[in-house]
Amino acid sequence: MDLLRVLELYSGIGGMHYALKESSVSAEVVAAVDVNTTANEIYKHNFTNTPLLPKTIEGMTLQDFDKLNFDMILMSPPCQPFTRIGLQGDVTDPRTKSFLYILDLLPRLSKCPQFVLLENVKGFETSAARDALLNTLRQCDYSFQEFLFSPTHLGIPNSRLRYFLIARRPPGCFSFQTSAEIMEGFPRPVSSESSDNPAVPNNHPTPSDSESKSSGPIIFKLETAQELERKRNQDSQETVRRLQEFLREDDDMDQYLLPPKTLLRYALLMDIVQPSSRRSVCFTKGYGHYVEGTGSVLQSCVDVDLESVFKSLELLSDEDKLMQLLRLKLRYFTPREIANLMGFPEDFTFPEHISVKQQYRVLGNSLNIHVVSNLIQLMMS
């Protein structure tokens, strides 16, 4: 069988490329396209033999695309126009321009690619950009299926709920019954009573912490009883692995400890997890720079009871409050640990000159490799 020729758009640090490799599909990336200088340096560092085009997608002509003669598109367009905490500019946001350009080109290619996979944030499914995507796919005779999916489905202790779409053209069809509804779990193959992959339960995704705020009396740490109960339920899910499997001990872990000023200001707002936890909230590009809503922090000293530290904390002086909080040895997850949670293999590395802040930023903009790998296999089967 000939190698499938794959075009990787918005290639970032290579999450789609790693997912393709993990899927074991016989394929090669014939070109990766991105304008982010830092991401491109990291991509080139890890995929030295892949042609990387550091240009805007709109700067490529129809002839440029036709010359690549690709069978599959993997893409993760900019999410800012659709994110729920942004302005939600949708198709009026300039950052959507390149995606709309792709949709305009797709029907005019000399050979429509047989396969398309797209990833974006939750929120994309209600956008005009998504409507334009589906209309274009129908125009080009694609069958497609949409998903809302989190790594917790695969037993990975990290909430990262995302929108996915897989599409394919004849000949051939999907191995499962498609639905007009957005699926919230992996479908079972038509020919089988159970999934080919027992590691992929067909249940509903665990919402990320930012999606499940509940009302009720405050218990401690500005958490309601409902929030506390939900987190305890997550930690009791034995189908999800413990965080300790993804942690690493670097030579200089002190650099990741939260500074006193941050502890005093944000202690009540932080999402704190332990190595034995089976949950963590979504890591964003602001992790390590901003605290609230950017990702969980790790309690390194597990001998100290978390609730006892926060009990009556507000009544203490800043000096005593800090003494209490320092007992927990709270630290940020390292970039390598976040990369582990997102499925990047051990041989994925950063060039030496890429700062920790830059590493957090590009990881926050990336995707979960295990999820995409499973979807590639589903798309191809």
Distance from C-alpha of 206 to C-alpha of 200, rounded to nearest angstrom: 14
CB 275 within 8 A of CB 243: yes
Task: Dig out the tokens for 83 from the structure.
Answer: 């994110």
Task: Dig out the tokens for 350 from the structure.
Answer: 């950063």
Cis peptide before 171 (omega within 30 of 0): yes
CB 372 within 8 A of CB 59: no
**Which residue, among 243, 50, 71, has the nearest Cα to 172 in the 3D structure?**
71
Distance from C-alpha of 76 to C-alpha of 64, rounded to nearest angstrom: 20
**Which runs of E-coded beta strand occur in the chain?**
4-9, 27-33, 52-53, 72-75, 115-121, 143-149, 162-168, 218-220, 223-224, 272-273, 297-299, 330-332
3-state secondary structure of 380: helix
What's the burial of 125, exposed, middle or buried (CB within 10 Å: 0-12/13-18/19+)? middle
Distance from C-alpha of 363 to C-alpha of 39, rounded to nearest angstrom: 9
Backbone angles phi, psi at 218, to 5 degrees: -75, 130
Catalytic amino acids? 79
The torsion angle over the Cα atoms of residues 252, 253, 259 and 265, rounded to 10 degrees, is 160
Backbone angles phi, psi at 318, to 5 degrees: -60, -40
